[in-house]
C-alpha cells in the first residue's frame, strides 16, 4: 500500500490555491468516499452525475486530453459537457505514461474503450436492477440510463450506489458500441477542452506553479560535454540582491541518462536575480575529451564511414552482383546536422523535498521516468516521489528526459527550500539531447529502362543508446525500424548497412527521430533518380514503392521488425497504403497539370509510426526570395479519433519540418554549441509559412496509427524536391536557407 501526502494539506501549507491549477491533479487512491464511485483509475462518477475522466498522458499540444476524454465519454455514454478532466500524476497504475512515439491513442484505443464500455455496462446493469427491467431494454446517452418503454430514466449519479455493489466486469469482455452509435470518435470538430484556459492565460505550465518560499535556480552549465567546474568565484553572484544560495551541481558521469547536468546553480527569490547572479559568476571549466568536437570535422568522419562497407542490417538478393550488372550506377550522399527540440517553453521543474519524500511539478512527457530518476539520484523509493504533470509548452521529445526534474529535486533536497529550476533559452539550445547528426550514402543500380534493380543504403549516426550506454556507437534494430528496415522497395537486390559513430553530445529522440534524415535521403534520392532517368517524380516514386502489397519480413529482407511496438498483423508494411497517399496527394495538388504550367512542385512520402503520409510543396519566387507558397498533405493513419486535432498536427508538422530544413540545427566548434538563441537558431515565422495548406485525412477503419510525428519526415525532402523543380539545383543537406534567399 502506497503512502502519500494528501494533496489538500500540501497545497494549503504551500499556498497553492486548488482552483489555480487548471489541470486539477488527481493523486493516487484519492477516495472520494461514498459520494464518488471509481470503477477505474480513468473514470470516476460522482453522486451529482459529474463524470471525471483522468488523462494519463501529457498534454503538449497534440490535444491528447481532449481526444482521450471524448473517446472515454463516447463509449461511456456521457456528454462531454458534463465531464471534468483531471491530469494523472505519475503512477504505474495508469500503465505506460511516456507520451512519446505517437502512441497514446494507438496503443490504448481498444483497451480504453473497453474500460469505458465495462463501466457503461455496470451502470446499465445497476439501472436494470433498480428499475426491474432487462438490461437490453435500456439505452444510455448524455449520462442518463433510460427505459424508453416506460419513459423512466436514471442519471449516472443515482446509479453509483447500486453499481458499486455489482460484480465487476472484465473489460476484455465488454461489448463496444457500434460505429454508428459513436458521436465523438471520428467527428470532424471535437471541442478543444483546454482552449479557454490557453487563451486567457489560465493554463498552468511548468514555471507557473508557485509554492510559497520558492527559490528559482538558474544553472551555469558545462560548455562542453564532460567538462566540470575547475574553480569558481561566487562573491559577485551572492552580492546580487535576491540571490539566496550558490550550489555546485553533481558532475555527471557517462552514461548521462537523465542525470543533472553539472555546473553551478544560482538560487534566488526571483528569476531576474538568479539570471543576474549567474551572469556575475566567475567560472573556470576543466578540459574534456569532447573539446575537439567540431561539426565540420565530424561530418568528414561520418562521411568516411558512410563510404565504407558497414554492418549489414537488411539484405535481399545479391547486391554486389546486381550493381556489377547494372546499366548505370548512381550514388548520392546526404547530411543532416544535429537538430534541437526548442519547445517554446524551455525545460523547467519545481520540487519540494520533505522528510525523504519529494513532490514535483514538471512539464514532463514521462512522469514515471521522473519518479525513477529522482529516486535513483536521491537514494529513495520511486513511490516516495510524487510527480504532478502540468501543461507542456511543447515537448517534441525533449521533455521525456527527466534531467531537468532531477536537477530541481537535487536542489530542493540540498537547500531545504522549494526550488524551481528554470532553463533559459540558451541552456535549451546549448545543452539539448539533440536529434543525432547523420550522413547517408545511397547507391542505386539502374537497368536500361531506368528501373532500380539494386539499392544500397549506408547510414552513419551516433545512436540514442549512447546516453544509456557510453560505449554505444551503432544503431540498434529499433533505431533502424525508422525508415530503413520498413521502407517499401520494389527492388530485387537491397542492402542496408550501418557504420559506427561515437556521440560527443547527449543524443535524444526528437519528433519522428531517425525518420527525419532517412526519409530525407530516400525521398530526395528517388527524386534524383527520376531526374536522372527523365521520368516524372511521382511515377518514379510509385515505381520504387512498387505494386500494392503487404511486405513480409522476407520481402523486406529482414529477420524481425520492431514496428513501433505493434504487431505486423495489425499494422503491416502496406505498400498499397503508401501508394494511395502518394496518388491522392498528386491528384489533390493537380500535379501533372500544375507542373505543365511551370509550377515548382516537390513530392515525398513516408511510413512512420504506422501511418502513411505524402506531402507536396509548391514554391514561388517573389521579391528576391523563394517562398513556400502552398502545401498538400495526405495522411492515412487508420481510424482517427479526433480529425481536427490530426489536421492541426499535420499543419504543425509542416512548419516544424520546414524550420529544420531551412534553418538547420546546432553546430559545434571546440566542443561548444555555436548557436544560442533565435537569432542564430532560427524558426519559421508566420510570414514564411505557407499561407495555403490542404490537409486530407484518408477515411479508414484500420487500427489507429500515430499522428503526432508522421507529418514531419516527408516535409524536408518535398521542399528539396520542389527546389530542384524550380532551379535544377539539388539540396542534399540542412540548412537550405541561403538557397531560398535568406541571408544566413
Partner 1 sequence: MRSRLEPRSACLAAPWIAVLLGCEPSPSVAPDLPPETIEIPPSDLLPKEAFAGIGDPVVRSAAQFLEATRVLLHPRCLNCHPAGDTPLQGDFGFVHEPPVVRGPEDRGVVGMTCDGCHQDDNVPLANVPGAPNWHLAPISMAWVGKSPAEICEQLKDPLRNGGKSLAEIVEHAESDELVAWGWAPGRGRSKAPGDQKRFGDLLRAWVEDGATCPTDGEHP
Partner 2 sequence: MSLRIKVNGVLHDLEVDPEMPLLWVLRDVLGLTGTKYGCGQALCGACSVHLDGRVIRSCVTPVRRAEGRAITTIEGLSATGDHPLQRAWIELAVPQCGYCQAGQIMAAAALLAENPEPTDDDIDRSMAGNLCRCGTYTRIRTAIKRAAKPSAPTEGSP
Q: Which chain residues interact with partner 1 by CB under 8 A?
A: 275-276, 279, 677-679, 682, 685, 687, 743-744
CB of 737 to partner 1, least distance (A): 11
| Residue 691: contacted member of partner 1, partner 2, none (CB under 5 to 8 Å, by partner type) | partner 2
What phi and psi, each to the nearest 5 degrees, are found at residue 148?
-55, -35
The single residue listed with the C-alpha cell 549567474 is 278
- The contact pattern for partner 2, residues 552-591, with x = CB under 8 A and - = no contact, is ----------------------------------------
d(CA 59, CA 81): 20
Bond preceding residue 735 cis, omega within 30 of 0: yes
Q: Is 679 in the site for partner 2 (CB under 8 A)?
A: yes
**Of the candidates 115, 140, 207, 615, which one interacts with partner 2 according to CB under 8 A?**
207
What phi and psi, each to the nearest 5 degrees, are found at residue 387?
-120, 115
Structure-block grid coordinates of residue 643: 480529425
| Residue 200: contacted member of partner 2, partner 1, none (CB under 5 to 8 Å, by partner type) | partner 2
Q: Is 103 in the site for partner 2 (CB under 8 A)?
A: no
Show the CA angle centred on residue 668, arms to residues 732 and 271, nearest 5°.
120
Task: Find the part of the chain contacting partner 2 (CB under 8 A) among 251-259, 339-347, 547-555, 718-726.
Answer: 339-347
Contacts of 148 (CB under 8 A, 6+ apart): 137, 139
| Residue 45: contacted member of partner 2, partner 1, none (CB under 5 to 8 Å, by partner type) | none
Return contacts of 587-591, CB within 8 angstroms, 24+ apart. 588/616, 588/632, 588/634, 588/694, 588/696, 589/616, 589/618, 589/630, 589/632, 589/694, 591/538, 591/616
Is the CB of 96 or the CB of 269 nearer to partner 1?
A: 269
The single residue listed with the C-alpha cell 519540418 is 657
| Residue 279: contacted member of partner 1, partner 2, none (CB under 5 to 8 Å, by partner type) | partner 1
CB of 685 to partner 1, least distance (A): 7
Is the CB of 459 or the CB of 645 nearer to partner 2?
A: 645
CB of 663 to partner 2, least distance (A): 12
Q: Is 308 in the site for partner 2 (CB under 8 A)?
A: no
CB of 381 to partner 2, least distance (A): 32
- Report the run of H or E that residue 715 belongs to, with start and end: helix 715-727
Length of the chain: 744
What are the b/e assignments for 344-368, b being 16+ CB within 10 Å? Answer: ebbbbbbbbbeeebbbbbbbbbbbb
CB of 234 to partner 1, least distance (A): 17
CB 237 within 8 A of CB 243: yes
Task: Find the part of the chain contacting partner 2 (CB under 8 A) among 102-110, 154-162, 310-318, 344-352.
Answer: 344-352
What would the DSSP string read from start to end of 173-207? GPPPPPGGG-SSTT-TT---TTHHHHHHT---BGG
Bond preceding residue 255 cis, omega within 30 of 0: yes
| Residue 342: contacted member of partner 2, partner 1, none (CB under 5 to 8 Å, by partner type) | partner 2
What phi and psi, each to the nearest 5 degrees, are found at residue 283?
-130, 145
d(CA 162, CA 616): 57
Q: Is 199 in the site for partner 2 (CB under 8 A)?
A: yes
Give the residue among 608, 638, 613 at the shortest CA–CA distance from 486: 608
Is the CB of 172 or the CB of 189 nearer to partner 2?
A: 189
Give the residue among 98, 109, 150, 105 at the shortest CA–CA distance from 127: 150
CB of 625 to partner 1, least distance (A): 11
Q: Which of residues 695-714 bind partner 2 (CB under 8 A)?
A: 695
Contacts of 435 (CB under 8 A, 6+ apart): 338, 339, 340, 341, 507, 508, 509, 510, 513, 516, 665
Alpha helices per DSSP H over 31-134? 64-76, 104-131
d(CA 261, CA 598): 53
- The contact pattern for partner 2, residues 241-260, with x = CB under 8 A and - = no contact, is x-------------------
Burial of 537 from C-beta contacts in 10 A (0-12 / 13-18 / 19+): buried
| Residue 744: contacted member of partner 2, partner 1, none (CB under 5 to 8 Å, by partner type) | partner 1
Q: Is 272 in the site for partner 2 (CB under 8 A)?
A: yes
Give the residue among 514, 602, 479, 531 at the shortest CA–CA distance from 332: 531
Task: Find the part of the chain contacting partner 2 (CB under 8 A) among 377-385, 443-451, 454-462, 673-681.
Answer: 673-681
Is the CB of 275 or the CB of 648 nearer to partner 1?
A: 275
Q: Is 508 in the site for partner 2 (CB under 8 A)?
A: no
| Residue 702: contacted member of partner 2, partner 1, none (CB under 5 to 8 Å, by partner type) | none
| Residue 652: contacted member of partner 2, partner 1, none (CB under 5 to 8 Å, by partner type) | partner 2
Is the CB of 259 or the CB of 341 nearer to partner 2?
A: 341
| Residue 201: contacted member of partner 2, partner 1, none (CB under 5 to 8 Å, by partner type) | partner 2
Task: Find the part of the chain contacting partner 2 (CB under 8 A) among 61-69, 252-260, 492-500, 584-592.
Answer: 61-69
For the sheet containing 385-389, what is the strand order?
A: 243-248, 264-268, 215-220, 419-422, 348-354, 357-362, 385-389
Alpha helices per DSSP H over 450-566? 477-480, 515-533, 537-545, 553-556
Is the CB of 199 or the CB of 729 nearer to partner 2?
A: 199
| Residue 743: contacted member of partner 1, partner 2, none (CB under 5 to 8 Å, by partner type) | partner 1
**Of the candidates 12, 34, 324, 344, which one interacts with partner 2 according to CB under 8 A?**
344
CB 19 within 8 A of CB 325: no
CB 316 within 8 A of CB 247: no
Is the CB of 531 or the CB of 693 nearer to partner 2?
A: 693
| Residue 539: contacted member of partner 1, partner 2, none (CB under 5 to 8 Å, by partner type) | none
Is the CB of 272 or the CB of 330 nearer to partner 1?
A: 272
Q: Is 531 in the site for partner 2 (CB under 8 A)?
A: no
**Of the candidates 342, 505, 521, 736, which one interacts with partner 2 according to CB under 8 A?**
342
Task: Find the part of the chain contacting partner 2 (CB under 8 A) among 110-118, 160-168, 392-400, 578-586.
Answer: 392-400
Q: Is 102 in the site for partner 2 (CB under 8 A)?
A: no
For the sheet containing 36-40, what is the strand order?
A: 25-26, 83-88, 51-55, 43-46, 36-40
Q: Is 343 in the site for partner 2 (CB under 8 A)?
A: yes
**Of the candidates 581, 684, 716, 722, which one interacts with partner 2 according to CB under 8 A?**
684
CB of 662 to partner 1, least distance (A): 13
Which residue ranges make up the site for partner 2 (CB under 8 A)?
59-63, 189, 192, 194-205, 207-208, 210, 216, 241, 269-272, 275, 342-346, 391-396, 422, 424-425, 644-645, 647-649, 651-656, 659, 677-679, 683-687, 689-695
Amino acid at each position: 500500500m502506497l503512502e502519500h501526502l494528501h494533496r489538500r494539506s500540501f497545497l494549503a501549507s504551500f499556498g497553492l490555491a486548488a482552483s489555480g491549477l487548471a489541470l486539477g491533479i488527481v493523486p493516487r487512491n484519492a477516495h472520494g468516499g461514498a459520494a464518488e464511485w471509481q470503477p477505474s483509475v480513468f473514470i470516476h462518477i460522482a453522486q451529482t452525475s459529474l463524470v471525471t475522466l483522468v488523462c494519463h498522458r501529457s498534454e503538449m499540444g497534440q490535444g491528447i486530453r481532449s481526444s482521450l476524454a471524448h473517446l472515454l465519454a463516447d463509449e461511456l455514454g456521457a456528454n462531454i459537457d458534463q465531464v471534468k478532466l483531471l491530469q494523472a500524476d505519475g503512477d504505474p497504475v495508469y500503465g505506460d505514461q511516456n507520451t512519446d512515439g505517437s502512441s497514446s491513442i494507438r496503443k490504448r484505443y481498444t483497451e480504453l474503450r473497453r474500460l469505458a464500455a465495462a463501466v457503461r455496462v455496470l451502470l446499465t446493469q445497476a439501472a436494470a436492477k433498480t428499475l426491474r427491467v432487462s438490461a437490453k431494454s435500456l439505452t444510455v446517452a448524455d449520462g442518463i440510463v433510460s427505459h424508453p418503454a416506460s419513459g423512466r430514466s436514471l442519471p449516472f449519479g443515482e446509479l453509483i450506489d447500486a453499481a458499486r455493489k455489482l460484480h465487476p466486469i472484465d473489460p476484455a469482455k465488454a461489448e463496444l458500441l457500434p460505429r454508428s452509435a459513436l458521436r465523438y470518435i471520428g467527428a470532424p470538430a471535437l471541442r478543444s477542452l483546454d482552449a479557454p484556459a490557453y487563451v486567457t492565460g489560465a493554463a498552468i505550465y511548468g514555471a507557473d506553479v508557485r509554492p510559497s518560499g520558492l527559490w528559482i535556480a538558474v544553472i551555469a552549465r558545462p560548455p562542453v560535454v564532460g567538462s566540470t567546474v575547475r574553480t569558481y568565484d561566487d562573491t559577485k553572484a551572492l552580492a546580487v540582491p535576491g540571490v539566496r544560495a550558490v550550489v555546485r551541481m553533481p558532475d555527471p558521469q557517462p552514461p548521462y541518462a537523465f542525470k543533472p547536468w553539472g555546473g553551478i546553480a544560482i538560487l534566488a527569490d526571483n528569476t531576474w536575480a538568479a539570471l543576474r547572479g549567474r551572469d556575475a559568476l566567475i567560472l573556470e571549466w576543466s578540459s574534456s575529451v569532447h573539446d575537439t568536437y567540431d561539426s565540420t570535422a565530424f561530418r568528414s568522419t561520418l562521411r568516411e564511414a558512410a563510404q565504407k562497407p558497414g554492418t549489414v542490417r537488411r539484405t535481399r538478393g545479391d547486391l554486389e552482383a546486381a550493381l556489377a550488372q547494372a546499366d548505370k550506377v548512381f550514388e548520392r550522399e546526404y547530411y543532416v546536422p544535429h537538430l534541437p527540440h526548442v519547445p517554446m517553453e524551455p525545460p523547467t521543474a519545481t520540487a519540494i523535498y520533505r522528510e525523504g519524500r519529494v513532490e514535483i511539478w514538471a512539464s514532463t512527457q514521462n512522469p514515471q521516468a521522473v519518479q525513477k530518476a529522482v529516486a535513483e539520484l536521491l537514494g529513495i523509493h520511486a513511490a516516495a516521489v510524487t510527480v504532478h504533470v502540468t501543461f507542456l509548452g511543447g515537448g517534441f521529445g525533449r521533455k521525456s528526459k527527466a534531467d531537468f526534474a532531477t536537477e530541481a529535486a537535487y536542489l530542493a533536497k540540498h537547500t531545504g527550500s522549494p526550488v524551481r529550476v528554470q532553463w533559459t533559452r540558451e541552456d535549451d539550445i546549448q545543452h539539448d539531447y539533440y536529434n543525432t547528426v547523420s550522413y547517408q550514402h545511397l547507391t542505386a543500380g539502374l537497368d536500361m529502362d531506368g528501373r532500380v534493380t539494386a539499392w544500397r543504403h549506408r547510414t552513419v549516426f551516433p545512436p540514442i543508446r549512447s546516453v544509456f550506454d557510453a560505449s554505444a556507437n551503432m544503431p540498434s534494430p529499433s533505431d533502424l525500424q525508422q525508415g530503413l528496415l520498413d521502407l517499401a522497395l520494389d527492388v530485387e537486390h537491397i542492402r542496408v548497412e550501418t557504420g559506427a559513430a561515437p556521440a560527443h553530445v547527449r543524443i535524444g529522440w526528437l519528433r519522428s527521430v531517425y525518420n527525419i534524415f532517412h526519409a530525407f535521403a530516400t525521398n530526395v534520392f528517388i527524386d534524383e533518380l527520376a531526374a536522372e532517368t527523365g521520368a516524372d517524380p511521382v511515377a518514379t516514386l510509385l515505381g520504387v514503392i512498387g505494386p500494392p502489397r503487404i511486405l513480409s519480413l522476407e520481402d523486406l529482407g529482414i529477420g524481425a521488425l520492431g514496428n513501433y511496438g505493434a504487431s505486423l498483423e495489425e499494422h503491416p508494411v502496406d505498400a498499397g497504403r503508401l501508394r494511395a497517399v502518394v496518388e491522392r496527394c498528386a491528384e489533390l495538388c493537380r500535379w501533372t497539370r500544375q507542373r505543365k504550367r511551370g509550377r515548382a512542385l516537390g513530392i515525398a512520402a513516408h511510413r512512420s509510426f504506422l501511418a502513411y503520409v505524402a506531402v507536396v510543396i509548391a514554391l514561388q519566387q517573389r521579391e528576391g526570395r523563394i517562398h513556400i507558397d502552398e502545401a498538400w498533405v495526405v495522411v492515412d493513419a487508420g481510424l482517427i479519433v479526433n480529425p481536427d486535432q490530426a489536421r492541426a498536427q499535420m499543419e504543425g508538422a509542416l512548419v516544424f519540418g520546414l524550420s529544420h530544413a531551412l534553418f538547420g540545427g546546432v553546430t559545434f566548434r571546440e566542443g561548444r554549441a555555436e548557436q544560442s538563441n533565435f537569432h542564430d537558431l532560427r524558426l519559421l515565422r508566420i510570414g514564411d509559412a505557407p499561407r495555403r495548406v490542404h490537409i486530407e485525412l484518408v477515411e479508414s477503419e484500420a487500427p489507429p496509427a500515430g499522428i503526432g510525428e508522421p507529418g514531419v519526415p516527408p516535409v524536408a525532402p518535398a521542399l528539396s524536391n520542389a527546389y530542384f523543380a524550380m532551379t535544377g539545383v539539388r539540396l542534399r543537406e540542412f540548412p537550405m536557407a541561403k538557397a531560398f534567399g535568406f541571408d544566413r
